[in-house]
Chain A
Amino acid sequence: MKLLKPSWVSHNGKPIFSVDIHPDGTKFATGGQGEDSGKVMIWNMAPVLREEDEKNDNVPKMLCQMDNHLACVNCVRWSNNGLYLASGGDDKLVMVWKRAAFIGPSTVFGSSSKLANVEQWRCVTILRNHTGDVMDVAWSPHDVWLASCSVDNTIVIWNARKFPEMVMCLRGHTGLVKGLTWDPVGKYIASQADDHSLKVWRTVDWQMEANITKPFSECGGTTHVLRLSWSPDGQYLVSAHAMNNSGPTAQIVERDGWKTNMDFVGHRKAVTVVKFNPKIFKKKQKNGSSPKPSCPYCCCAVGSKDRSLSVWLTSLKRPLVVIHDLFDKSIMDISWTLTGLGMLVCSMDGTVAYLDFSLDELGDPLSEEEKNTIHQNIYGKSLAITSTQEPQLATTIIENPEMLKYQQERQSSAQNNCRVAGADSTAPKLNSVMNGESLEDIRKNLLKKQVETRTADGRRRITPLCIAQLDTGDFSPALFNSVPILPSSLSNQLPPQLSTDSSSGQVAAAPSLGGLRPNLDPTLARRRPANAAPKGLEDTKDQVLSSSVKSGLLLTSASKIEPMKALDSRFTERSKTTPGVPAAISSTAGLLPLDRPKDVVTSVLKDVKAKEDTSSDSEDKMATINKNLALCKRKPEPLMMDGAEVVEKRKKGRPRKDKMAPPIMSQSFTQIISPPERESIRPAAAAAAVVVTVPAPAPAAVLKLPTPSLQKAFSMQVSMEPAVFLEVENEVTSAAGSRLSQLRCSRDGREWNTLLPSSVVAAAGSSDVLVVACQDRMLSMFSSCGRRLLPSIQLASPVSALNCSAHFVMALTAGATLSVWDVHKQKALVKNESLTTILSGSEVHVSQSLLTQQGVPVIGLSNGKSFCFSSSLETWTLIADRGDCLVQWADFRSCLPTQDASGSSGPLATLQGRNLNAGRMASRLSAAPHHLQQSMTLAFLENQLAAALTLQSAPEYRYWLLIYTRFLVNEGSEFRLRELCKELLGPVHKSAATAWEATTLGLLKRELLREVLPVIGENLRFQRLFTEYQDQLEQLRNK
């Protein structure tokens, strides 16, 4: 064993409370007291490991220091994937740090040390919930959760995939909670507190599993930290400070029954920290000795207030080594390297020690595969198979060049990703040239160029120059390559552009605004009071909808209120501001009565021109300017056109274009059926399914679905791209006693209208087809240009719901029958199919009806089930069930594609909606036996695949297919994988007899296989399968 105290690792003599080695072993973090704040420092590991690196001045020692914590930092912990660092401190906060690319070295402003930070670590999120000092933080296996404990007696579980979301607050301790450890299997989390107890909590329901008090009854509450640890095989939990016969010990708690029969004895004062070596060891095979199988054992380091450190092997009765007087004060934290041979220890005295062990001393570490086998034997589940830190199955030999090539490609692409971050961080962005002007030039003229205005109360207001956008990686949508804004270009764009033709009419200052006279469109002028007044949302929305329909124009105000944001977003989402998409947002979000006082004048002043600006829009804003010019700054006043607020709202609800154009139903926008039912209409977000709620359950005997009530007039947007609006006015003209109804439609600004002999009850439309149902049970269909496509269809009973998608029309009648027509082919896909089959049971009614782009009708029921009518099978098929327990238990999150924030979008996702997320939350590592859960997940995934297939939703089929494959790969079901590959590949040699279809849902099966194979290749266990099908694919390609 070698021992080293690197003197350069220090917080200027201040205490170091925590140390943690990065999973890749190249750096480590320390946390503790700073000058007048908490301090987190990141150090280079190389100078600790190698003397020549320590002496080489070109090798940096300190990589980064962060003074952001306001008070002492008690704990620093790297996430298992090494991307994040979490720190908790006396300021009650937990901060999560991420390496920031694109910013060069810098110092902490005002700090006495002038050392530059080599790496930039930026706080990406702050977790606030604790009301007292945060004592310990811990990442769960696979970084699903982050736990923090505090002197406020609570433990908070944070959703590490969605900071700062809180999953749970564990209450039950009656004293300061000072230590946390996760069960390596992920079933439990254990905490130790000053209330003389160690508690074990289940992760499945976050309830207490065990409360262990006996070994702690004699303990005093004087230990600063109580860092307990769980053994890597999961079998033992070792506590910090415990007492046995009035001597301080570290209590060993067995997983089996939480028995407390053993302890580590020998320290003279309280044990502050216990840390298990991440490796499991087996005895070193000596040359010549018989290779008898020995039991694997764990290694554990114990640090104490008596300033000594002991290292134990669970195979030995006595400690492997005890080191006294290593420090002047209590040991505070211990961290092992992932290799299991190195260890860093830190102390209250502000120093750090490094211990280097040899294999001879500790034994042979088990490989990850062997460790997995142990896990699999004990828990029926191998954990590390999804781990990416170490190559899995390290002992498996890569058998063929393709696999080797593939593995190497994978590695190098991973390295490249890292290098992208690294390379860019070394090239300081700030000196780069921005629009032909270097930062130095900007600085020279900043005073002259910066925009200064006066607020209404005469105060100076400076608009700061944004010189770099924030790169918070995956936590923020900001794009790296967006160009920072210059003051020079800014000055051109700042004044509000008041006319639609660009580049005219610059207005420099507020007073002159009053002089401009907007020629207001009369209809808009009429509407404005209603809009501006803080009326209920429903009213306003209604007004705006109809007003925008009338003028055929859209409110796109949100995109151009604030110069910085607006311009920034212009860079990042240039293509997204198509008219129609923002309309959905601004009409709902922008018109909320605002509760926050706002700087109206200035924000309006900063309006920027936008090319797609419409005249009505700018006039609308002008009016607001005029109206509000007199208002004082920060006077609470509910106003509609509030720049910041609107932008903010819009940002939250910003529609991703890919999401906003789901393959189904993107056409019908919002259908207003009748006033009392308006609440039930989901706005744009629900991708505009027509929702019909039933006021009272229909009597079971006669299946009668509710019908929409007749309205004098209504309007709706049926398609967003192209923007198609429909407007219906009933009984508008009476020509010779007969009353006619008018249907008006505007498509991309072009209008047409037609007359109908009977009142229109319901209407629906897509970009291709418009359909209206009349009171006389007639169904009329029109092309998008207003041409009647078919003679009127007579329905047996009044229409209950009408849907339209692509060139398909679906009608649900009050008599509970369903029909779907293909208008282009003039063919019925579903003919008067009765809903009796699915509406059995008295309390069930239809809650949702959908028509996919492929013309598949879907009926959602109030009992949470969704059926679709498969025209090929001519039966109702169940595609989603919210009450399905498989959904609740299925655990496939580890198989989700990594960069999948959006998930799948399509009819299946629409139907299953939130429920699926709930299942994900509760399911992971549940109490259910693993094999049961595995089967349930498998069953669920196969259900999903089948449902996507029935719904003919190709993207969703592909999405679930990949998840399914990944799950099979993780769980090692070669049998099913092989079947899947076989089906996708099909027969290599064509023969007339084969019934194999080359495509499924329009996707080429072999293309799918090409996507699936890399997933299979990730697990070396399947390398033969991978090679087999890779070869065949290659052969087919060469043919």
Chain B
Amino acid sequence: MAKVQVHNVAVLDNPSPFGNPFQFEITFECMEDLPEDLEWKIIYVGSAESEEYDQVLDSVLVGPVPAGKNMFVFQADAPNPDLIPESDAVGVTIVLITCTYCGQVFIRIGYYVNNEYTDPELRENPPLKPDYSKLHRNILASNPRVTRFQINWEGLAEKMENNENLDPSPNISGMLLPDCLAGKMPPLGLIPDNSMDCI
């Protein structure tokens, strides 16, 4: 079993303008003092079509981690718009939070993110070139999708045999079913809860 259990992730400053930094307040519980740091990452999925548009917004070490309930706020800058395909700027995408211990990912938390114009005028007639200054980001905080992986908590000495737990940041779509993001999603409010199950 995992030595670290994520109890809660609160999405702060949400919804917010596109350029605002992401803020997640992460509460986790640790079963025993960890000798190594935890590494947390925020990955922004730029385009559902290809993982090459994934951006690692930031990675941060968290430590020392004593046994007990701990919390911290993970703040990361907004994605670089230049790296997002123009066609994918508006609409639903995903932001992922992963946590790594000794180079092994043991939890991945996914949120749907809806980027849209607040201005009804722009919403009706979106500009060809997305105007990021007017885009608003809304993270569907109420419905995180959590995937847990079994890892070797005893450190680097013996890696787990299965490589699937290695840090997925360069290639995350292997874990996402591609068809769930392939088409354009309806606006967030219309997504039935269970449609999240496909992540």
Contacts and interface: CB of A to CB of B under 8 A. Distances in A.
B64 A644 contact: yes
19 contacts: A36-B147, A109-B5, A110-B144, A443-B71, A450-B72, A459-B61, A461-B61, A464-B63, A466-B70, A470-B69, A476-B67, A478-B68, A484-B68, A563-B64, A565-B64, A602-B63, A603-B64, A606-B64, A644-B35
Interface string B20-34: 000101011111110
A465 interface: yes
A167 interface: no
Interface in A129-170: none
Interface stretch (B6-14, B127-135, B174-182): B6-14
B122 interface: no
A463 interface: yes
Nearest to A103: B69
Interface in B147-199: 147-148, 150, 155, 193
Contacts of A647: 33
Interface in A85-115: 91, 93, 95, 106, 109-112
Contacts of A450: 72-73
Interface in A292-348: none
A464 B71 contact: yes
B37 A461 contact: yes
A470 B68 contact: yes
Contacts of A443: 10, 25, 71
A470 B4 CA distance: 12
B62 A464 contact: yes
A69 interface: yes
Contacts of A936: none
A68 to B, nearest CB: 5
Interface of B is mostly: strand
A488 B125 CA distance: 50
The 8 closest A-B pairs by CB, nearest first: A110-B146, A464-B70, A468-B69, A564-B66, A461-B61, A447-B73, A469-B68, A464-B72
B33 A565 contact: yes
Contact of B60 (A68, A462, A563): A462
Interface in A524-545: none
Interface of B: 1-2, 5-10, 12, 23, 25, 27-33, 35, 37, 58-75, 109, 144-148, 150, 155, 193
B154 to A, nearest CB: 9
A648 B33 contact: yes
A492 B11 CA distance: 29
A70 B153 CA distance: 14
A681 interface: no
B61 A565 contact: no
A478 to B, nearest CB: 7
B139 to A, nearest CB: 15
Contacts of B27: 467
A106 B7 CA distance: 9
B8 A109 contact: yes
B23 A447 contact: yes
A126 interface: yes
Nearest to A35: B197
B196 to A, nearest CB: 9
Interface string A600-644: 001100100000000000000000000000000000000000011
Contacts of B8: 109
B175 to A, nearest CB: 12
Nearest to B145: A110
Given A106-B7, A110-B146, A465-B71, A68 B2 contact: yes
Contact of A446 (B7, B61, B73, B155): B73
A123 B148 contact: no
Contact of A109 (B32, B33, B73, B144): B144
Nearest to B39: A459
Given A109-B8, A459-B59, A562-B64, A446 B72 contact: yes
B100 to A, nearest CB: 13
Nearest to B147: A36
A70 B61 contact: no
A211 interface: no
Nearest to B73: A447
Nearest to A647: B33
Nearest to A476: B67
Contacts of B5: 68, 109
Contacts of B75: 447
Nearest to B193: A112
Nearest to B64: A562
Contacts of B35: 596, 644-645, 648
Contacts of A106: 7
A654 to B, nearest CB: 13
Q: Most chain-A Cβ atoms within 10 A of its Cβ — which of B64, B145, B147?
A: B64
A920 B32 CA distance: 30
Contacts of B59: 459-460
Contact of A462 (B33, B67, B72, B145): B72
B65 A464 contact: yes
Given A68-B2, A446-B25, A603-B64, 20 more contacts: A36-B147, A69-B1, A91-B150, A110-B144, A459-B59, A460-B61, A461-B37, A463-B62, A463-B72, A464-B65, A466-B66, A467-B71, A470-B30, A470-B67, A562-B64, A565-B66, A596-B155, A599-B63, A647-B33, A648-B35
A368 interface: no
Contacts of A564: 64, 66
B1 A462 contact: no
B61 A462 contact: yes
Contacts of A461: 37, 60-63
Contacts of B150: 70, 91
Contacts of A37: 148
A568 interface: yes
Nearest to A651: B33
Given A110-B145, A447-B73, A648-B35, A462 B62 contact: yes
Interface string A554-592: 000000001111001000000000000000000000000
A910 interface: no
Nearest to A460: B60
A110 B37 contact: no
A37 B5 CA distance: 14
B69 to A, nearest CB: 4
Interface in A26-61: 36-37
Interface string A452-463: 000100011111
A465 B68 contact: no
A781 B71 CA distance: 60
A93 to B, nearest CB: 6
A126 to B, nearest CB: 5
A112 B7 CA distance: 14
A70 B60 CA distance: 26
B31 A470 contact: yes
Contact of B66 (A112, A568, A599, A645): A568
Contacts of B68: 466-470, 478, 484
Given A68-B2, A109-B7, A446-B25, A459 B67 contact: no
Contacts of B58: 460
B63 A110 contact: no
Given A450-B73, A464-B71, A466-B70, A599 B1 contact: no
Interface in A681-727: none
Contacts of A69: 1
Nearest to A429: B69
A562 B66 CA distance: 10
Contacts of B65: 464
A463 B34 CA distance: 13
A106 B5 CA distance: 13
A110 B6 CA distance: 9
A123 B73 CA distance: 26
Given A460-B58, A461-B37, A644-B35, A467 B2 contact: no
A469 B148 contact: no
A606 B28 CA distance: 21
Given A446-B25, A465-B71, A564-B64, A123 B31 contact: yes
